[in-house]
Amino acid sequence: MGRYRVLDALSTLAFDYPARSSYFTSELEQFLLLTHEESLDALSAVGSYAGAMGAPQFMPGSLRRFAVDADGDGKRDLWSDWADILASVANYFRVHGWQPNGVVLTDVDIDQQHANGLDSRPLALNETIASLRAKGVQFKESLPDDAPAMLIAADEPDEVRFRVGLNNFYVITRYNRSPLYAMAVNDLANRILERVFSDEPPG
């Protein structure tokens, strides 16, 4: 959850980092408003070196916009109240367009002839299932042709494996811009589900 005083981190970046001064000045303002709204001690709240706070590592502006008081105790506590923490992350996803029961990622096959001409760099829903299929991407499951999609290259120790992210994958990247992070979140969630619904003992 970080060990830097949020007030110090945001003040330093607002006034001593010209490249992003306007952004961090705004976040400093959001933090001061937040401390008033949530009765936080501005001198004791800690976070990351960039001012991100709590278990979800929300910046102050995001915390004010998306945090939820899930247990109705009158506070949005993202440091120690796991009901608030989980509900706040879920609300962030909901606001950014999460589709319940929607596909996040799907594994695909691409022959080498087509792979060389495909661009997996843009982190945007700049393709559809149909357009990727027309470029030689072979899907292993049935998906709507008009579903927005993006191609992702996943580096393996001995090869590059291609996957296709759909809307919910894109939503995860609104939380953290790294496609590797989004893939890890999806894969870990699937492993947890497998364990929950299997007879495999923990450990």
The CATH number that applies at residue 38 is 1.10.8.350
C-alpha 64/C-alpha 115 separation (Å) is 43
Task: Decide if 88 is inside a domain.
Answer: no
**Do residues 123 and 187 share a domain?**
yes
Task: Decide if 82 is inside a domain.
Answer: no
**Do residues 121 and 178 share a domain?**
yes
Residue 133 half-sphere exposure toward CB, CA atoms < 13 A = 13
Summarize pLDDT for 25-51 with one digit per residue, the tens: 999 999 999 999 999 999 999 999 999
**Do residues 56 and 120 share a domain?**
no
Task: Decide if 77 is inside a domain.
Answer: no
Summarize pLDDT for 121-170 with one digit per residue, the tens: 778 999 999 999 999 999 999 999 999 999 998 877 777 788 999 999 99
**Number of domains composing the chain:** 2
The string over 80-101, giving b where at least 16 C-beta atoms fall within 10 Å of a residue's C-beta and e elsewhere, is ebeebbebbbebbbeebebeee
pTM reported for the whole predicted model: 0.85
**Domain that residue 66 falls in:** 4-72
